[in-house]
Structure 1
Amino acid sequence: MIEAAADGRITTVTLARPERRNALTPAGLDALRAAVADAETSVVSLRGAGEAFCAGADLDVVDGLDGDAAADLARRGQRTATAIAESDSVVVAGVDGAARGGGLELALACDLRVATPAATFAEPGVEFGLFGAWGGTVRLPRVVGEGEAMDLALSGRVVDAAEARRMGLVSRVVEDPRAVAEQIADNDPAALSVVKERLRDDADPETREEREAAAFADLAADRRSRKG
């Protein structure tokens, strides 16, 4: 269900269940979390096999869950999304085809979302009595703003790559998302890790600025030592 392969400074993690549009079971979520956590490269490229990025949770599984098991599924999804967000690697979601529900939420946890022209996005949970519970109600408004988040989550409507780019849901629309991952991987690994950590920091502004200066000093010292 989850395939991981390292090539140079990029680990490609593939959601490999195309017959179910890469829908994730609890075991699939655990495997995805492990694949990202185990990556030893500076960049992780997250992609879906076949014609979809990820359809989210496998509804055949969801429909068989009682309350406690459903809460456990939500927590597993949240832990997986958090592992992506907190990875030492820069995680780039390459969205080609549909990203729905939990699939969109996993993409939101990535550091960068890059779409092909065929990509589409939606939070369709309200159509069948659910909602995005893998951190979606937290991350979606952070990325696109409360107004756009309310629109997407309450309507369940599908947006294409161009609209996703306009609202800031994706950073680029390209033919080959892998090329963006490669462009990022060409940069210094230590600097990439520091920049991700600094941009993710949610402390107060004064503390963030102090940490920023300290991190810059550390990198500068490392650069000086390498130059001899």
Structure 2
Amino acid sequence: MIGVTTDERQSIRTVTLARPDARNALTLDALEALEAAIADAEEPVIYLTGEGPAFCAGADLNAVADLDGDPDAAVAFAELGQRVARTIEASPAVVVAGIDGPARGGGLELALACDVRVGTPDSTYGEPGVTFGLFGAWGGTVRLPRVLGEGDALEFALSGRSVDAEEALRMGLISRIEDEPRTVAEEIAANAHDALGVLKRRIRDCAGEATKERREAAAFGDLVAAHADDVDALLE
């Protein structure tokens, strides 16, 4: 489900979400494999992308349905996704998300944890969980306002709408639109590797989000308990 390749010449590790038949939706096992692929990296740059016509549809709905409305299980699921996002954010490597096709829910939240987000002209972005009573709980309520500002974050999350690449660029969800997003990872990897790590640490230096994430996970647990039947209906 997670592919890992290394280009030693360019000093880039490519991590690929490789479940194209399910739009790269993430199961528990895939989340753990993704975490390991990021944590084990020794390269100065990681390029995170998806196989096939989607970047990532977010959490596998079957995995959400398997929570069976149990808020404790839902909190644990949210905390796993948050941990993976924190691993991406805290990686010594610069992590570049190359987004082609849809980035939805948890897929968008993992992209938000990356240092640089580059979309193709065909990329789209959305947090649709609110339409069936949930929301992305992999750190999205922490990072979305940080990236977009509170006003745009509220409108985007509460509407459940999707935006195309041009609007995502205007909002600040992505920093560039490229036919081949990997070229941005290559540009970054061409610079002094020790400087890359120092710059990332200094720009990323912040505190106080752990409490927000715990509250986010708890709120997700409550909603999974309230909307278990709605999730099951989506799978029928």
Q: Tell me whether the two structures share a fold, i.e. TM-score over 0.5.
A: yes
Amino acid aligned to 2:58:
G
Greater RCO, CA 8 A, separation 6+: 2
Amino acid aligned to 2:139:
G
2:56 to 54, 70, 87: 54
2:121 matched to 1:121?
no
TM-score, normalisation: structure 2: 0.85
> Once the 2 structures are TM-superposed, how far is the Cα of residue 71 of structure 1 from its aligned partner?
1.1
> Once the 2 structures are TM-superposed, how far is the Cα of residue 159 of structure 1 from its aligned partner?
0.3
Residue 90 (structure 1) aligns with: 94
Amino acid aligned to 1:6:
T
1:17 to 19, 30, 34: 19
> Once the 2 structures are TM-superposed, how far is the Cα of residue 10 of structure 1 from its aligned partner?
0.2
Residue 63 (structure 1) aligns with: 65
> Once the 2 structures are TM-superposed, how far is the Cα of residue 152 of structure 1 from its aligned partner?
1.1
CA distance in structure 2 between the partners assigned to 1:180 and 1:14 by the alignment: 16
Residue 234 (structure 2) aligns with: none
Residue 131 (structure 1) aligns with: 135
> Once the 2 structures are TM-superposed, how far is the Cα of residue 77 of structure 1 from its aligned partner?
0.2
> Once the 2 structures are TM-superposed, how far is the Cα of residue 202 of structure 1 from its aligned partner?
1.8
Residue 163 (structure 1) aligns with: 167
Alpha-carbon RMSD: 0.7
CA distance in structure 2 between the partners assigned to 1:112 and 1:57 by the alignment: 22
2:192 matched to 1:188?
yes
Amino acid aligned to 2:46:
V
Q: Give the secondary-structure state (helix, strand or coil) at the position aligned to 1:93.
A: strand
TM-score, normalisation: structure 1: 0.88
2:198 matched to 1:199?
no
Give the number of aligned pairs: 203
Larger Rg computed on CA atoms: 1
2:153 to 149, 154, 164: 149
Residue 4 (structure 1) aligns with: 4
Percent of counterpart pairs with the same letter? 65
